[in-house]
Amino acid sequence: MRRDESGRVSGFGAFPLLQTRRLTLRRMTIEDAAFYLELFSDPDVVELTSQEAPRGIEGATNELLEYCVQLFEEDRGIRWGIERNRLPGLIGTIGYHHWVKEALRASVGYDLVASARRQGFMTEALCQVLRFGFMEMRLNKVEAHVNPGNKASIRLLQKLGFHQEGVLRDETFFHSRFIDKICFGLLAREWGKSASFQESGSSGN
């Protein structure tokens, strides 16, 4: 990581590879476009993210470039692809966006294919990503904005110590209706108080 004169992180160096007991979090490339199309065409993912599915493999490639590859290259955030150790093929993505360096704040987002849910993978991945955010990016706050219908994500955030800070009413207009977003936040000093937040091998949701 690079730091400015005040010691704050100003950008990334080489893309960081993260590993946990069961997972590898790696850089995504355009070769992952077919997986990206599959994941973000899942009706559950479409509904809970309030984002339309990509328009074919070309649309998936363009979105992957914008939200994963260029996000990192332009120093606006970072998104990892999630793989199981010793098993080829991605099962999800996770990472930081809306990185406000001056405020030491970023938003976290994550998703899994249906076959990988309810096995503790996202708990494991998010614990490691929080460690990276607070220890390496020197974040003071990590935020997450969640669809009220995403009960699994809400339980995960609460389990890892996030606090509900409010509701962004009618934040999104999707499929002819307005949708609220619940805002959760976790501060560095809160994360640091509990060793459970720092266990990359945790199990759970």
- At residue 67, the pLDDT reads 96
Helical axes 151-159 vs 121-135, angle rounded to 10°? 50
How far is 135 from 158, CA to CA, in rounded Å? Answer: 21
pLDDT digits (tens, 9 = 90+) for 27-43: 999 999 999 999 999 99
pLDDT digits (tens, 9 = 90+) for 82-139: 999 988 899 999 999 999 999 999 999 999 999 999 999 999 999 999 999 999 999 9
How far is 20 from 126, CA to CA, in rounded Å? Answer: 10
Q: Rounded to two decimals, what is the model's pTM?
A: 0.89
How far is 106 from 139, CA to CA, in rounded Å? Answer: 7
How far is 165 from 36, CA to CA, in rounded Å? Answer: 31
Architecture per CATH, domain 16-198, reads as 3-Layer(aba) Sandwich (3.40)
pLDDT digits (tens, 9 = 90+) for 50-93: 999 999 999 999 999 999 999 999 999 999 999 999 888 999 99
Q: Are 103 and 113 in contact (CB under 8 A)?
A: no
pLDDT band at 194 (very low <50, low <70, confident <90, very high): low
Q: Which two tokens stand for residue 37?
A: 């199309």
Query: 3-class DSSP state for residue 95?
Result: strand
Q: Nearest 5°: CA angle at 119, between 116 and 120?
A: 115
